[in-house]
Amino acid sequence: MSGSLLAVRDLHVAFHTRGGVVDAVRGVDFELAPGDTLAIVGESGSGKSVTAYSVMQLLDRSARIKQGQIVFRGEDITRAAPSRMKALRGAAISIVFQSPRTALNPIRPIGRQVMDALSAHEDLSATELRARALELLEAVRIRDAEQRFDAYPEQLSGGMCQRVMIAMAIACNPALLIADEPTTGLDVTTQKTVMDLLARLIAERNMGLVLITHDLGLAARYCRNVMVMEKGLVVERAPAVELFSNPVHPYTRKLVAASPTFESTVQDLVGAPPAAPVVRPHEERGTPLLLDVQAVTKRYSGSPVVDQVSLTMRRGESVGLVGESGSGKSTLSRMICRLIDHDGGSVIFDGQDIGDVPARDFHASPLRRDIQIVFQDPHESLNPRFSAFDCIAHPVRRLLKLKDGAELRQRVEAVADRCGLPRRLLPRFPHQLSGGEKARVGIARAIAVEPRLLVLDEPTAALDVSVQAVVLKLLDDLRRDDGLAFLFVSHDLNVVRMMCERIVVMRRGTVVEEGASRELFCAPRAEYTRDLLASIPHFERRPSLAG
């Protein structure tokens, strides 16, 4: 045991809540040698974060470590005194949190925050502190660190903020680094640079890493060993290479299957039989395009967010819109939905220029029901005071002018059935539903009025990978069986490839590449598309840190 950096033995953690005692972690064992890397993989509620937080004693007040032992460098820290933990935190064990923007103090310059992290454990003069902080900022590859030293978090990008967080975490050369979903919310190319940096720093400084993630690709690429958790239990642990090539436990198999890869189809993700090819509704010659966006522009305070973008869609066609945050894809999709006005160009839907009606009056337009949208975050897109039934019934009441009664109820129930939402869940409020159930309510609401164009704004970005698989399958069925036209907005190229016939890649408000999904994937023309494709973490490849 003397050789291990961190040993967690038979850890049980319970939360005392209104509903009674909830066991979040039920017997977790693992050991980490100095310089070793371990990924804890699981979906929300699996107990992966709770396990890591117990090591740091950063648990919520309602949580109790019921039994088990946490040993760090031979010292039992399971119930260490706060003063002892204070000495360890930052100096010997550090943590990098999810969402760097909220983890940094918004009113203190970033350089100062790095200095604070240093001075908490080391007795240095102000000039030495500053010099060390600068070194650290340079080590995490912040360009022009000298100038950026006095910048505030909101002046930096998300990736940059995460690098500052990493600089703070490694400031005192800790022996163990815990990274809790360090790249969730970052773009895929940023994710790659941040993770590469983290991997390099860890190797250079011989730190132990516990990476908590829901992303199997990330775990495989950056960690030697992987531990899979489900409902507070460790279901499988193995070296990364083995685990993904030969998963043993059914849950791991399900997770591996549900993760989109370069080759998978939507049917593969959920283990369904291959689907028949899409049958496009018959189009007569001369029927106008379903959607014809011509050189639309949107400016925010002078600078264009979407700059002269054109896009066409035929009836029943599914088009993917891909790009990183700030590429203008969400703005474009909202202009197409007529939720915001454009500053130039035109949006022609089925031969009619719908730009004539201001966005704020478009709710009364007869075309409102034809263009519907599924929003990014299912948690945030349902009215907290509406039951699932009311959420779905709302557009039916407003747009189809159906009064309360049997007809409305039938329609809502039919669409809930179509979306795989059990009828008994209809009276529930959003907070009483799981993420996947809320996503179904959001989709049911959008298709309840039988639109002709469905805009999907990152519909699965906030969902666990197995839930994402099921929701994608549902969407794919809607596309195939009901002939709905999809505009699928996403930052995830793999997902878009599976769902769409054609892909449009956007960057900084303009279209950089457009083409059929297969060709775009096999032979990307734009360099940016190649970068995007190369950044997708993948578990078929050999992990870079293994061996």
Partner 1 sequence: MNATLRHAGWVLRGNPVTAIAATAMLVLVGLAVAAPWIVPYDPVVSDVSNALKPPSAAHWAGTDQLGRDILSRLLSAARLDLAIAFSAVGISFVAGAVIGALCGYAGGALDRWTGRLVDVLMAFPLFVLAMALVAALGNRVENIVIATAVINLPFYIRFARAEVSVRRNAGWVEAARAGGEGRFSIVLRFLIPNILPAMAVQISLNLGWAILNAAGLSFLGLGVQAPTPEWGIMVAEGARFIGTGQWWLVAFPGLALMLAVLCFNLLGDGLRDILDPRMRT
Handedness of CA 113, 115, 119, 122 (dihedral sign): positive
DSSP character string of 332-378: HHHHHTTSS--SEEEEEETTEEGGGS-GGGGGGSTTGGGEEEE-S-T
Please state the closest distance from residue 435 (CB atom) to partner 1, in A. 14
Please state the closest distance from residue 372 (CB atom) to partner 1, in A. 6
Specify the residue, 349 or 521, whose C-beta has the smaller distance to partner 1: 349
CA–CA separation, 238 and 225 (whole Å): 6
Specify the residue, 252 or 333, whose C-beta has the smaller distance to partner 1: 333
Q: How far is CA 248 from CA 184, 217, 228, 271, 335, in A?
A: 27, 17, 11, 17, 47
Question: Angle at CA 269, nearest 5°, toward 485 and 491?
Answer: 55
Specify the residue, 457 or 464, whose C-beta has the smaller distance to partner 1: 457
Helix, strand, coil distribution of the chain in percent, nearest 5: 40, 25, 35
CB 422 within 8 A of CB 449: no
Please state the closest distance from residue 330 (CB atom) to partner 1, in A. 11
Please state the closest distance from residue 442 (CB atom) to partner 1, in A. 8
DSSP 478: H
CA–CA separation, 110 and 60 (whole Å): 27
Strand 318-322 to 233-239 pairing: unpaired
Please state the closest distance from residue 430 (CB atom) to partner 1, in A. 9
Specify the residue, 18 or 61, whose C-beta has the smaller distance to partner 1: 18
Strand partners, 177: 94, 209
Question: What's at 544, amino acid-wise?
Answer: S
Specify the residue, 179 or 467, whose C-beta has the smaller distance to partner 1: 467
Strand partners, 404: none
Specify the residue, 152 or 429, whose C-beta has the smaller distance to partner 1: 429
Please state the closest distance from residue 371 (CB atom) to partner 1, in A. 8
The number of beta carbons lying within 10 Å of the beta carbon of residue 381 is 20
Please state the closest distance from residue 340 (CB atom) to partner 1, in A. 10
Name the residue among 43, 545, 539 with its Cα closest to residue 242: 539
Strand 344-349 to 352-353 pairing: antiparallel
Please state the closest distance from residue 379 (CB atom) to partner 1, in A. 8
The residues that touch partner 1, with contacts defined as CB under 8 A, are: 18-19, 334, 337, 339, 360, 363-364, 368-369, 371-373, 375-377, 380-385, 394-395, 398-399, 429, 431-432, 442, 445-446
Please state the closest distance from residue 362 (CB atom) to partner 1, in A. 8
CB 436 within 8 A of CB 462: no
Specify the residue, 77 or 337, whose C-beta has the smaller distance to partner 1: 337
CA–CA separation, 412 and 352 (whole Å): 30
